[in-house]
Amino acid sequence: MRRSIYVVAVAAAVAAVLAVAWFLTPHATLRDLRDAARRHDAAGVAEYVDWPALRSYAADRAKSCVSELIGAPESGKAGAALRGVVSAISGVAIDSIVQQVVSPSVLTTFVSGERPGDQPTDVPGRASSDPFPEWSLEWQGWRRVNVRVRNGSSRLDRVLLSIRREGLEWRIDRVLFECPRVR
């Protein structure tokens, strides 16, 4: 009897440690990602990114935004046909743009809380003295966490990074953004 209680206690302790580790691993990944971004270390940031998945998602989302901007219906044969034509025509241009824009240097700029085109005030390899943006995590099941970047800019507050578990590591595979609205 005493042995079975001991086994159950050890199993419960191991389960608790694994649960805490599961919960903390995205936090550790984001801490390392922030540190690399603070140093303006694009190669360090790139280690935490699934580039093919990120570029594919960004291109698909951009094509969807173009379809929305021209008013392609969401359903029906006409909507599907129009979306297919828009995707085919815009696909080459969007894919080319995404290959240029979705890069380690641009993602490093975004993660560090700067805007593209801003001149970095620090020398690469040294930590920035500017306040770093706040991040909040939103769990989306066991294998995905959405990360909202908050830095006081309402445009960037709407953008999310989405990280996915790959084995014991987490990788950015999506940058979630809203489509621009036609006024």
Residues 166-179 have pLDDT tens digits of: 888 899 999 887 77
DSSP string for residues in 18-62: HHHHHHHHHHHHHHHHHHHHHTT-HHHHHTTB-HHHHHHHHHHHH
What pLDDT is stored for residue 69 in this prediction?
A: 74
Name which residue leads in pLDDT, 19 or 112.
Answer: 19
Is 14 inside any structural domain?
yes
Range 104-120 average pLDDT: 70
Structural domains in the chain (count) = 1
Q: How confident is the model at residue 112 (pLDDT cuts 50, 70, 90)?
A: confident
pLDDT in tens, 122-163: 544 444 444 456 778 888 888 899 887 665 555 555 557 889
In a domain, residue 43? The reply is: yes
Q: How many CA atoms lie within 13 A of 180 on its CB side?
A: 7
pLDDT at position 138: 86
Task: Find the mean pLDDT for residues 103-108.
Answer: 84
pLDDT in tens, 132-141: 567 788 888 8
Quote the domain boundaries for residue 69: 2-176
Asked if pLDDT for residue 50 goes beyond 90, the answer is: yes
Asked if residue 53 belongs to a domain, the reply is: yes
What pTM does this model have? 0.70
More confident site: 71 or 49: 49
Is 9 a domain residue? yes
* Distance in angstroms (rounded) separating the CA atoms of residues 130 and 95: 34
**Is the pLDDT assigned to residue 1 strictly greater than 60?**
yes
